[in-house]
């Protein structure tokens, strides 16, 4: 991929997650909280495209994929790629199965999908986030700050907050603190400004 990177259509690689104090994101294969409006914000964000007919590619770790209820699917404007080295067939409702992160990126930037895909959304879990953070096209992290403590067994990886700067305001992202089921949270966006960002 390294030598061919300049010949392909670069796409923004973006992370989206919600993390509590201590950066926990999951427990026993599920979300540790029930925040329907926060989940709706996730759906609104990943389904945004600039014009009809365009799509986004969602990259899922296997456990993360299976942790979602069937009722979530289909998701508008989205194609889904699940990462696994052990699965042999594409999971129900998904479109692609890839053995590694780089192969998933290649799907989005080469024919037949290159003209269709706008954004590559990385939706977890930990290992997939880690790889996305290192990718040169990674420009934004949408990270909801769930302002409470939860018992978690999966965590959002550490990232360089000097490289990814928190934005005071970001288009389409409410800046006020939200509250749901007695839990406060706020939407954050961290932006990387480097030559490689798309």
Residue numbers annotated as active site:
31, 38
Q: Is 154 in the site for ligand NAP (CB under 6 A)?
A: yes
DSSP per residue, the chain: -TTTGGGS----EEEEEEEEGGGEEEBTTB-SS--HHHHHHHHHHHT--SSTT-EEEEEEEHHHHHTS-GGG-S-TTEEEEEE-SS--SPPTT-SEEESSHHHHHHHHHSTTTTTTEEEEEE---HHHHHHHHHSTTEEEEEEEEE-S----SEEPPP--TTTEEEPSSBTTB--SPEEETTEEEEEEEEEE-STT--
Residues 6+ apart with CB under 8 A from 105: 1, 11, 13, 120, 135, 137
Q: Is 77 in the site for ligand NAP (CB under 6 A)?
A: no
Select from 80, 126, 141, 159 the one that contacts ligand NAP (CB under 6 A): 126
Distance in Å, CB of 62 to ligand NAP, minimum: 4
* Residue 63 or 197 with smaller CB distance to ligand NAP: 63
Task: Select from 5-13, 98-106, 133-141, 161-169 the region that touches ligand NAP (CB under 6 A).
Answer: 98-106
* Residue 13 or 18 with smaller CB distance to ligand NAP: 18
* Residue 14 or 26 with smaller CB distance to ligand NAP: 26
Q: Is 85 in the site for ligand NAP (CB under 6 A)?
A: yes
Q: Is 124 in the site for ligand NAP (CB under 6 A)?
A: yes
Binding-residue total with ligand NAP (CB under 6 A): 28
* Residue 51 or 134 with smaller CB distance to ligand NAP: 134
Q: Is 31 in the site for ligand NAP (CB under 6 A)?
A: yes
Q: Is 87 in the site for ligand NAP (CB under 6 A)?
A: yes
CA distance 26 to 18: 9
Structure-block tokens of residue 194: 């480097």
Q: Is 13 in the site for ligand NAP (CB under 6 A)?
A: no
User: What is the binding site for ligand NAP (CB under 6 A)?
Assistant: 17-18, 25-26, 29-31, 61-64, 67, 83-87, 99-101, 123-128, 131, 154
């Amino acid at each position: 991929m390294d030598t061919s990177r300049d010949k392909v259509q670069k796409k923004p690689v973006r992370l989206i997650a919600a993390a509590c104090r201590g950066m926990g994101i999951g427990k026993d294969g599920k979300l540790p909280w029930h925040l329907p409006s926060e989940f709706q914000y996730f759906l609104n964000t990943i389904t945004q495209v600039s014009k009809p007919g365009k799509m986004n590619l969602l990259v899922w770790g296997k456990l993360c994929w299976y942790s979602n209820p069937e009722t979530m699917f289909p998701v508008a404007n989205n194609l889904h790629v699940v990462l696994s080295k052990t699965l042999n067939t594409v999971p129900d409702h998904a479109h692609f199965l890839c053995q590694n992160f780089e192969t998933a990126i290649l799907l989005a930037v080469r024919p037949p999908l290159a003209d269709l895909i706008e954004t590559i959304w990385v939706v977890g879990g930990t290992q997939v986030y880690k790889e996305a953070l290192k990718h040169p096209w990674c420009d934004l992290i949408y990270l909801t700050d769930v302002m409470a403590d939860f018992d978690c067994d999966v965590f959002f990886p550490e990232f360089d907050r000097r490289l990814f700067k928190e934005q005071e305001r970001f288009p389409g992202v409410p800046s006020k603190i939200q509250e749901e089921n007695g839990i406060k949270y706020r939407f954050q966006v961290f932006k990387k400004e480097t030559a490689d960002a798309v």
